[in-house]
Chain A
Amino acid sequence: MLTVRGLQKAFGARRVLRGLDLSVTDGEVVLLQGENGAGKSTLLRILATLDRADSGEAEVDGFPLGDGVEVRSRIGFIGHRPGFYGELSGRENLALWSRLHQLPEHGTNIDAILERVGLKSFSNDRTGIYSRGMLQRLALARAALHRPTTLLLDEPFAALDGDGRELLRTLIAEWRADNRAVLVVAHGSRLAADRTLVLADGVVA
């Protein structure tokens, strides 16, 4: 579950978030939309503890963002950059992620999730040769690997082909059924969300 109260963030003189309130309950998919530069990505980065808000509060499953380790263990995040080591294979990149989350028996789980995102036959190839769409599929696998309770997905449909888009919609539906909170930033995704919110002038309209 995700709750945000009075979140503010400015970059120099430009105020991006102006006391934003938001909540996503367990088992809910919220689609967040807004014009370019509205602050959608900034909000997701703050919730993922990658950036700090100037003021306001936010909690993930009751843990404030200041409790970074607890919050990060509950979050699955897809951002603008895939963030994979090109010298490592897809499997090795996920194995590293699994170890950083101290997941047990990571091997089996990794194989299963690689198969799920359609990368099993590429799992031993270095990610340096992956296409952008393949990297996005791998990012999906990474976001789901540690079974987070809250998913923050910033333009997750980007670069995905038709199958990939369909896969993502299915995954989101499964997460919803699995009682997880999902906050998605996307344009024209034809995503079946429980709520669609629009971010404008630094607040949710």
Chain B
Amino acid sequence: MSLLVALVRKELRVELRSLQGTVAAAMLVLALLLLLRFTLTNDEIAQARLAPAILWSVLLFAGLGLLTHTALREGDRGTGEMLRLAPLPRATLFLGAWAGNLLLLSGLTLLAFGFYILLFENSFGPAWPSALAILLLSAVGVSAAGTLTTQAAAPLPGAWMLGTLLAIPLLLFTVVEASLRAGRALEPRSRLVVVEQTSNGGGGSIWPLATLVGVAQVARGHGLALHMDGARLLNAAVASGTAACDFADPVDSVWLDLSKGLGCPVGAVLAGSDAFIREAWRWKHRLGGAMRQAGILAAAGSWALTHHVDRLAEDHDNARSFAQRIGSIEGVTILNPEVETNLVFFDVAGTGQSSKDVTARLRERGVWIGANGPTRMRAVTHLGVGKPAVDEAGELLSELLAR
């Protein structure tokens, strides 16, 4: 241990008295951060996920440059040879060099982190101590791989870059692992809660109003906005008897599909505050969403909202009827037996057939029921499928799945 202390003390004394490597590395860090600061837009900088990438790339290049400098300095002056004359195992010499490099690299990391906060503001938020701790921990791996490769490369031509280049593949594991850990600690701050009404994955189930109000309260308590993906909001309204405007009341914005159950070929509606909608228009155009003569589509939507809402109850009845019919088929399990709205999820595992095969054979007979798992399927009722067609589909399925 005292040998290691002696080697580390020597390394620090030499570097602190000359400042050759650290000043050059610090200047490189500053130059790279300044370059990136002027290259990136404010929006990009605000994304916390960019922070690890910026700090990693800057620290890797400057840090490995610093380690290469310390290795070459030992070689050029013959001091490395002097150390090799000491009665120490080579492993001890390596550990000494590694520990000295670790301290130098940790100092550089602290400096780089300070520069980063100054230039990029604190995009880590309150998680910055964790971010700094992760960076400092990663210096352990960087200094180990860097010491190994720079010392190996020091006697070779082009050692100045070679050590750095050799270290990067060795460091991939360290960097990837640390980035993953950094991702957990530094993940972007949540801004929005989205509620899907009705819930597709939940079998077309309805978020009850009371639950929705509770979610909204929790979201507001954490400073989060609340959006409703209400593609099937009107199915929920018709099935539950709760007005769509009441469902929309607790949330900040709502999306409603005019297609799907309402029967339009295309179209949807986004609703929210004036300011929100103005911003949405801007983004729609910015993303290439400008559309001429869209009134034709709007007319269909207007018709659908006037004439096709109440009849959604028929779709729900049809879905329940379909579930009842196919639930009696041997080997078929209904996954959402309550069938709250127009979606029926079922599993055909018990029939020994795959959902993919069943879908293909149904399609040959003009019935489209989607596969959403190896044996899971989803049937959707809508304006285009009346009661007779639903009954026919049920019979056909019964025929195809009969053993």
A102/B3 contact (C-beta < 8 A), A87-B14, A87-B17, A92-B13 known: yes
What CA separation (Å) do A87 and B6 show in the bound complex?
15
User: Contacting B10 at CB < 8 Å: which of A68, A96, A102?
Assistant: A96
Interface string of B71-92 (1 = CB under 8 A from A): 0000001110111111111100
What CA separation (Å) do A79 and B89 show in the bound complex?
21
B273 at the interface (CB under 8 A from A): no
Beta-carbon contact of B82 and A83 below 8 Å: yes
B2 at the interface (CB under 8 A from A): yes
Q: Which of B2-27 contact A (CB under 8 A)?
A: 2-3, 6-7, 10, 13-14, 17-18
Minimal Cβ-Cβ distance residue in B for A73: B87
User: Contacting B13 at CB < 8 Å: which of A84, A87, A97, A99?
Assistant: A87
A88: chain B residues within 8 A (beta carbon): 10, 13-14, 17
A77 at the interface (CB under 8 A from B): yes
B7: chain A residues within 8 A (beta carbon): 100
A126: chain B residues within 8 A (beta carbon): 17
Beta-carbon contact of A48 and B87 below 8 Å: no
Q: Distance (Å) between the CB of A162 and the closest chain B CB?
A: 26
Please classify how large the interface on chain B is, using the bins under 10, 10 to 19, 20 to 34, 35 or more.
20 to 34
A22 at the interface (CB under 8 A from B): no
**Which applies to chain B's interface (DSSP): helix, strand, loop or mixed?**
helix
A77: chain B residues within 8 A (beta carbon): 85
User: Contacting B18 at CB < 8 Å: which of A72, A79, A87, A97?
Assistant: A87
A96: chain B residues within 8 A (beta carbon): 6, 10
What CA separation (Å) do A142 and B87 show in the bound complex?
14
Q: Which of A83-130 contact B (CB under 8 A)?
A: 83-88, 92, 96-97, 99-102, 126
Q: Distance (Å) between the CB of B73 and the closest chain A CB?
A: 9
What CA separation (Å) do A69 and B18 show in the bound complex?
31
Minimal Cβ-Cβ distance residue in B for A142: B82
Beta-carbon contact of B85 and A48 below 8 Å: yes
Minimal Cβ-Cβ distance residue in A for B19: A87
Q: How many residues of A are in contact with the other chain, CB < 8 A?
A: 28
Beta-carbon contact of B78 and A99 below 8 Å: no
What CA separation (Å) do A100 and B4 show in the bound complex?
9
Beta-carbon contact of A50 and B81 below 8 Å: yes
A68: chain B residues within 8 A (beta carbon): 87, 89-90
What CA separation (Å) do A48 and B83 show in the bound complex?
12
Interface string of A164-200 (1 = CB under 8 A from B): 0000000000000000000000000000000000000
What CA separation (Å) do A102 and B17 show in the bound complex?
25
Q: Distance (Å) between the CB of A124 and the closest chain B CB?
A: 13
What CA separation (Å) do A75 and B89 show in the bound complex?
15
A14: chain B residues within 8 A (beta carbon): none
What CA separation (Å) do A56 and B78 show in the bound complex?
27
What CA separation (Å) do A126 and B18 show in the bound complex?
11
Beta-carbon contact of A101 and B82 below 8 Å: no
Minimal Cβ-Cβ distance residue in A for B5: A99
A69: chain B residues within 8 A (beta carbon): 87-89
Interface string of B319-330 (1 = CB under 8 A from A): 000000000000
Beta-carbon contact of B78 and A81 below 8 Å: yes
Q: Distance (Å) between the CB of A45 and the closest chain B CB?
A: 9
A70 at the interface (CB under 8 A from B): yes
Q: Max chain A CB contacts within 10 Å: which of B3, B7, B85?
A: B85
Minimal Cβ-Cβ distance residue in A for B16: A87
Beta-carbon contact of A101 and B78 below 8 Å: no
What CA separation (Å) do A144 and B7 show in the bound complex?
21
A85/B77 contact (C-beta < 8 A), A100-B88, A101-B87 known: yes
Minimal Cβ-Cβ distance residue in B for A99: B6
Beta-carbon contact of B83 and A100 below 8 Å: yes
Beta-carbon contact of A100 and B87 below 8 Å: yes
A50: chain B residues within 8 A (beta carbon): 81, 84-85
What CA separation (Å) do A142 and B3 show in the bound complex?
17
B18: chain A residues within 8 A (beta carbon): 86-87
What CA separation (Å) do A142 and B18 show in the bound complex?
23
User: Contacting B77 at CB < 8 Å: which of A48, A70, A86, A92?
Assistant: A86
What CA separation (Å) do A48 and B85 show in the bound complex?
7
What CA separation (Å) do A96 and B12 show in the bound complex?
13
A82 at the interface (CB under 8 A from B): yes
Q: Distance (Å) between the CB of A183 and the closest chain B CB?
A: 15
A72: chain B residues within 8 A (beta carbon): 85-88
Minimal Cβ-Cβ distance residue in B for A96: B10
Beta-carbon contact of A97 and B78 below 8 Å: no
Q: Which of A49-71 contact B (CB under 8 A)?
A: 49-50, 68-70
Beta-carbon contact of B79 and A100 below 8 Å: no
Beta-carbon contact of B3 and A81 below 8 Å: no
B17: chain A residues within 8 A (beta carbon): 87-88, 126
Q: Max chain B CB contacts within 10 Å: which of A72, A75, A79, A85?
A: A85
Chain B positions within 8 Å of A, measured between CB atoms, are: 2-3, 6-7, 10, 13-14, 17-18, 77-79, 81-90
Known: A49-B84, A85-B79, A102-B3. 13 other contacts (CB 8 A): A48-B85, A69-B89, A72-B88, A75-B85, A77-B85, A83-B82, A85-B13, A85-B14, A86-B18, A87-B14, A92-B13, A96-B10, A101-B87
A and B contact pairs by CB, cutoff 8 A, 25 listed? A48-B85, A49-B84, A50-B81, A50-B85, A68-B89, A69-B87, A69-B89, A70-B87, A81-B78, A83-B78, A83-B81, A83-B82, A84-B77, A85-B10, A85-B13, A85-B79, A87-B14, A87-B17, A96-B10, A97-B86, A99-B2, A99-B6, A100-B7, A100-B87, A102-B2
